[in-house]
Amino acid sequence: MGVKLLLDKAHVPGIRFFETYRKEGGYQAVEKALKQMDPAAIVEEVKKSGVRGRGGAGFPAGMKWSFIAKPEGVPRHLVCNADESEPGTFKDRYLMEFLPHLLIEGLIISSFALGSNDTYIYIRGEYAWIVDILEQAIDEAKAAGFLGKNILGTGFDCEIYVQRGAGAYICGEETALIESLEGKRGNPRIKPPFPAIEGLWKRPTVVNNVETLAAVVPIINMGGDEYAKIGVGRSTGTKLISACGNINKPGVYEIEMTLSVEEFLYSDEYCGGIANGKRLKACIPGGSSVPILPANLLLKTAKGETRLMNYESLSDGGFASGSMMGSGGFIVLDEDQCIVKNTYTLARFYRHESCGQCSPCREGTGWMEKILKNIDTGKGKMSDIDLLWDIQRKIEGNTICPLGDAAAWPVAAAIRHFRDEFEWHVTHPEEAQKRNYGLAHYADPIHVPA
Amino acid sequence: MSKFNDEQLKEFSRLVARYPADKQKSALLPVLHLAQDSFGGWLSAETMDYVAELLQISPIEVYEVATFYSMYNLKPIGKYLFEVCQTGPCMVSGCDDIIEYIGTKLGIKPGETTTDGMFTLKTVECLGACGYAPMMQMGKHYREHLTKEKVDAIIDECRNNAAVNN
């Protein structure tokens, strides 16, 4: 049983409400931060903690905070990115739904550290019921004097508002999110200027993920140095993983980043193994954008080392034999799953979500979807596989925002590791339609629990 | 043409008050949600013009936003909207069978509405419920771990509610 810093109280009855949350030690970090620390000291603790952005990019949060410009007389803003839309990812939803006050507490401290008097939570439009949960938590915190004017008599004023999006994956990209918050289409901005200099309404802005901001609470409570002792290397603290697909126990788990992938996948404490007694075929370990890994490369690196659930280990081997931690969306595919079809649904997703600004992404995602659909439905040609490879290469790195890369990587990795399955779809169009793969080599490796 | 009633205008004021005085366009997305919920579940050109007038922005600024985001319906929908997720994680958990089952049961294809105007079926991309798949959004809430039996029960529930409310 690993240490839990975020979800340790998730199962306390009534923890969603202020009274219980407070009784369980909630809002002590706000008291400590606002009464005993100044903003610079809080930024310093977050830097020391080494906590990295939990939305997917993994950028050190303390460093991001230190970039915020402070021009005289210009308001600054903190924006919480709750636009969780990466397929396979549903951890922020869990946190907001069950521990809304943990997020609010983290937001108050972070707003104080950054000098934000008006802080916004931008939440994906589909999470409509969570808006009510968050607004209730905000009202409760305000009634108790933790939000509003002159918080705890410190002279610090802070309001938190919840803004609903309306269905657009791209708004998880921070500059698209800012555009959306300004009431516009979610078209990412060209950087620089970065939001820390020119963000919401051209004011200095920091955008952080829900989980990152919630982690500020334990960081303040225990101190940055203590937080940094949990985990390994540059993967400090704990990480929420949302596990889904063909496993016995889908759900949200808080892990220490020293945990092995094998233990996470097969132990009863976490995923509980592959569902229905099937064998593992592949896994997308960090949300749909990151490279898919075949079973053998998931559990061990190419060098034969045990792969761990952390930033460094999951990316060990680069894209040739590794993947990424990403957003922590852990998608498991069993031996019956079709890689071509899975890749097709992801390509369709990215085509649907491309904002249309950059031609390589706008056109390329559509081409990839059509070609993959052809291959999946038995109308593909052998040359289509090379064409797909060529298109994804021409998208990657050639767009304003990372959606282009996010669309390219799943296609590239699927071809890299499962090219024979694509070829088989071309050579056996009818059998492929019956989802009868006949691919003996996927039975190997067979996982033998230790 | 429909206009917000007093209660809806109060909500409109609450939404606009969150932003600096000269930045009320920021309220556009929430106000469009309010308008869609208030005027039959979709946004007509008249409704969008009305929102533009309320926020003192040009109609084109509303159209370009309304057409960008997938949650705004630009044509009438049925009384109940079933939005079934079809992205990877739901696909590996069997959403195709659920989509086909709903379609067959209601006699419609994704994107269509039943002739009695009761149900609209839509396929959507990832809704962040991957661990509870297959799933769909229905109004403000999610219906998760869908099975054929659950779909039957939901459809019955909708029909019963509609009968009671009529």
Check pLDDT > 90 for residue A42: yes
Q: Do A125 and B140 touch (CB under 8 A)?
A: no
Tracing tokens 């509980």 back to the chain, one arrives at A272
- Return the axis-axis angle of helices A100-114 and A210-222, rounded to nearest 10°: 80
Tell me if chain B has a CB within 8 Å of the CB of A86: yes
Q: What's residue A435's pLDDT?
A: 63
CB nearest A168 (choices: B23, B61, B68)? B68
Among A274, A243, A269, A308, which Cα is nearest to A448's?
A274
Q: Which CATH architecture has domain B80-165?
A: 3-Layer(aba) Sandwich (3.40)
pLDDT, residue A92, reads 98
Residues of chain B contacting A167 with CB distance shorter than 8 Å: 69-72, 124
| Res. A448: pLDDT tops 80 | no
pLDDT higher than threshold 90 for residue A364: yes
pLDDT at B1: 65
CA angle A325, A339, B136 (to 5 degrees): 75
Contacts of A164 in chain B (CB under 8 A): 29-30, 33
Q: How far apart are CA A344 and CA A347, in angstroms?
A: 5
Question: Could you give the percent of chain B with pLDDT greater than 90?
Answer: 95
Contacts of B29 in chain A (CB under 8 A): 125, 163-166, 180, 183
Q: Please list every residue in chain A whose beta carbon sits closer than 8 Å to the beta carbon of residue B23.
A: 182, 201
Residue A342 at interface with chain B, using a CB cutoff of 8 Å: yes
Three-state SS letters, chain B:
CCCCCHHHHHHHHHHHCCCCCCCHHHHHHHHHHHHHHHCCCCCCHHHHHHHHHHHCCCHHHHHHHHCCCCCCCCCCCCCEEEEEECCHHHHHCCHHHHHHHHHHHHCCCCCCECCCCCEEEEEECCCCCHHHCCCEEECCEEECCCCHHHHHHHHHHHHHHHHHHC
For residue A27, what are the CA distances in angstroms to A34, A49, A106, A135, A142? 11, 20, 9, 17, 12
The DSSP secondary structure of A96-151, one letter per residue, reads HHH-HHHHHHHHHHHHHHHTBSEEEEEE-TT-HHHHHHHHHHHHHHHHTTSSBSSG
Element of type H or E holding A220: helix A210-222
For chain A, the residue count is 450
Listed by start position, the domains of chain B span 6-66, 80-165
Selected for mutation to probe chain B from A81, A83, A86, A90 (highest B CB count within 10 Å) is: A90
Output the pLDDT for position A444. 42
Of residues A89, A124, A163, nearest to B30 (C-beta): A163
User: Quick one: average pLDDT of A169-184?
Assistant: 98
**Are the beta carbons of A181 and A3 closer than 8 angstroms?**
no
State ipTM: 0.96
Q: Test A183 with B61 for CB contact under 8 angstroms.
A: yes
The full set of domains in chain A, from first to last, is: 18-228 (3.40.50.11540), 240-334 (3.10.20.600), 339-434 (1.20.1440.230)
CB contact under 8 A, B87 and A93: no
The domain made up of B6-66 has a fold known as Arc Repressor Mutant, subunit A (1.10.10)
Amino acid residing at A4: K
CB-nearest to B89 from A120, A182, A245 is A245
B89 touches chain A (CB under 8 A): yes
**pLDDT digit string, tens, across residues A123-149:** 999 999 999 999 999 999 999 999 999
Q: Determine the Cα–Cα distance for residues A241 and B126; give it in Å rounded to an integer.
A: 17
- Which residues are CB-contacts of A8 (< 8 A; sequence separation ≥ 6)? none
B interface test, pick of A134, A184, A200, A247 with most B CB neighbours within 10 Å: A184
